[in-house]
Structure 1
Amino acid sequence: MMLSGVLALGLGIAVGTVPVPYVIESPGPTFNTLGQSQGSPVISVTGRETYPANGNLDLTTVYVDGGPNGPVSILGAFTGWLDGTKSVYPEELIYPTGTTKEQAEEQSSVAMTTSQENAVASALNELDIPFGQQLQSAGLSDGSPSEGKIEEGDVFESINGKPVTSLAVIQEELAAGKGAPATVVVRRAGEPVTQTISPKDNGAGRYILGVMLKYLFTFPFDVKISLDKVGGPSAGLMFSLGIIDTVTPGDLTGGKHVAGTGTITPDGAVGPIGGIQQKMQGARAGGATLFLAPAANCDDVVGHVPDGLQVVKVENLAEARRAVELSGSGQDTSALPVCTSN
């Protein structure tokens, strides 16, 4: 009887350690964009006057177990399901099949770098500080209508005679043309090249050139963001707010503890992110009382807000800045937009 009990226990332990194709997200640490990390300022600016800022503008993070980060056991997945602060997802919902750890880390690093550049651009746009901005081809999508006409490295100068100052210019011209051929001028090896391209419908009613684009910025001063072992694009919004507070007089937060998350585009649009429930938990545990959440994440916010945390729905940087300023000035924030169930 004792032997069978030992065998049963051993079998249970063995089964509990069997890896399963799931990913577990749990609350990670927060980092104050107005503070320091490993002895260095998270945000440092050279070439422009800066102002010391009090309070917190915390970016939030998520620990991710499973997938390319290492296997999750049956026991680990089961305990994750029972833990209200964690979320468990099938691996394929988070990572494409076959993604290696090296690939995941590289993608995360590239996304972080892009988010930092976009954060500087959006902050300068919000402050009406001029800077240089161009769009460069980073390659073509499969079946692209620009095949043989646009090359990697081409810099877009105009479309249908309108200077390309942002992605919105291209999108608006293609939408107005409703599939009509577009005249595109790019600069290649220092020389202008003119091409006529017939955009295609992407299946969702939008016309596209099938070109993957990246921004090239020329900023009037240098912004360095130092944050080790944090990747992905979701800190963009909080970087933007941190930059604004650093280069403007006074305290944006009024000394309050604010946290948030969200991707950012150069024109200040705030986009959705993953793991928002864990980020709200991490923010509250870190002391935040106000949390900025992307409007596109509202379905995951409703019903999961920790006690003592006010969550404000934001769609762009201007709304986020207003919310922080309102809170920092001690005014009533109860009328700020919130997430509601549909």
Structure 2
Amino acid sequence: MLSRLSRMPRSRVLAACAVPVVALFAVAGLAPLPFALAQPGITADVLGKDKGREVITITGAPVRPTTGRLRMTTILATGPGTDVDLADVADAWFRTDRAVLPYANVYPPGKSDAEIEQRNLGQMKESQDDATLAALGFLKKDPEQVKVELHLADVGGPSAGLMFALGIVDKLDGDGDGGDLTGGRTIAGTGTIAPDGTVGAVGGVALKTQAAARDGATVFLVPKDECSDALAERPKELRLVPVATLSDAVGSLRALEQGRASQVPSC
């Protein structure tokens, strides 16, 4: 083969070599790749209503009226059955409002769409239970006496835990001095939460900050370990506040509400 090519004109040699390369790229461009594409998703005010129903309902303790908003944030990813090809990846790679994620980081392999949905709903329920325990523990209230019901349709996963906990704190205690924890602002954020109040990383924060700014937030609470990711595409009007615990988040919001912004950490 080599001796035969050596006797061919250079232009014909290049053409002959290009054929399999072009074919390879054509196949790669059409073949599904092991990626998911994500973009900023919806936000929801945990102090408000979802489909006509209060997101947070509390019985067994006085509940105070609130102003301002506490918005949990989401990303919207291509479904587990969606084929993503090279053109899709190339388009998303150069856009700030899109992200290319390894499929296994978004969906567990080997699971059906129904199984994945069930898993996400289970994570949401566990997150709500942990948020309730974290908030009532922070306020030193007995979970046997104070009952919290959380409702948010069509959203799965654990990443709303921090904002659920803050919503419970605001409804029961506000800023601790008669005012709103939000100070009347629109606050957004993300982060898992453990029963002891520890805030965990969630992923997708660069997209969630965009969703937050789009929906009117001026402050974004971000898990401390994800500050650098949040800064990558931070909307200029959005202040990023790192938090490692529920106590950190409450303390920062109280400081902002009381005009002590210089005491609030930033990413």
**TM-score between the two structures when normalised by the length of structure 1:** 0.66
Question: How many residue pairs were aligned?
Answer: 239
Q: Which has the higher helix share?
A: 2
Q: What per-residue deviation string (whole Å, max 9, x for no partner) do you get for residues 74-123 of structure 1? A: 33222211211111022133333322212211111111001000101000
Q: Which amino acid aligns with 1:239?
A: F
Which of 53, 58, 61 lines up with 1:48 in the alignment?
A: 61
Q: CA RMSD in A?
A: 2.0
Where does residue 130 of structure 1 map in the other structure? Answer: 142
Where does residue 17 of structure 2 map in the other structure? Answer: none
Task: Describe the shift of the 1:33–1:335 C-alpha distance in structure 2 as closer, same or farther (beyond 3 A).
Answer: same
Structure 1, unaligned stretches of length 5 or more?
A: 1-11, 132-218
Which of 128, 151, 156 lines up with 1:116 in the alignment?
A: 128
Which of 205, 210, 227 lines up with 1:276 in the alignment?
A: 205
Equivalent residues of 1:119, 1:236 under 8 A apart: yes
Which of 60, 83, 90 lines up with 1:78 in the alignment?
A: 90
Q: Which amino acid aligns with 2:76?
A: Y
Task: Describe the shift of the 1:334–1:85 C-alpha distance in structure 2 as closer, same or farther (beyond 3 A).
Answer: farther
Residue 230 of structure 2 corresponds to residue 301 of structure 1: yes
Task: Describe the shift of the 1:245–1:299 C-alpha distance in structure 2 as closer, same or farther (beyond 3 A).
Answer: same
Equivalent residues of 2:210, 2:235 under 8 A apart: yes
Q: Following TM superposition, by how much is the alpha carbon of 1:315 offset from its aligned partner in structure 2, in angstroms?
A: 0.5
Structure-1 separation of matches of 2:26 and 2:61: 60
Equivalent residues of 2:241, 2:266 under 8 A apart: yes
Q: Following TM superposition, by how much is the alpha carbon of 1:258 offset from its aligned partner in structure 2, in angstroms?
A: 0.5
Identical residues among aligned pairs (%): 38
Q: What per-residue deviation string (whole Å, max 9, x for no partner) do you get for residues 118-177 of structure 1? A: 10100011101134xxxxxxxxxxxxxxxxxxxxxxxxxxxxxxxxxxxxxxxxxxxxxx
Correspondence 1:1-342 to 2 at 5 A: 18-66=31-79, 68-131=80-143, 219-248=144-173, 250-329=179-258, 331-339=259-267
Structure-2 separation of matches of 1:285 and 1:14: 38
Structure-1 separation of matches of 2:81 and 2:237: 33
Structure 2, unaligned stretches of length 5 or more?
A: 1-24
Q: Which amino acid aligns with 1:236?
A: G
**TM-score between the two structures when normalised by the length of structure 2:** 0.83
Q: Which amino acid aligns with 2:197?
A: G
User: Quick check: 95-104 or 301-310, which moved more?
Assistant: 95-104
Where does residue 139 of structure 1 map in the other structure? Answer: none
Q: Following TM superposition, by how much is the alpha carbon of 1:261 offset from its aligned partner in structure 2, in angstroms?
A: 0.5
Equivalent residues of 1:20, 1:73 under 8 A apart: yes
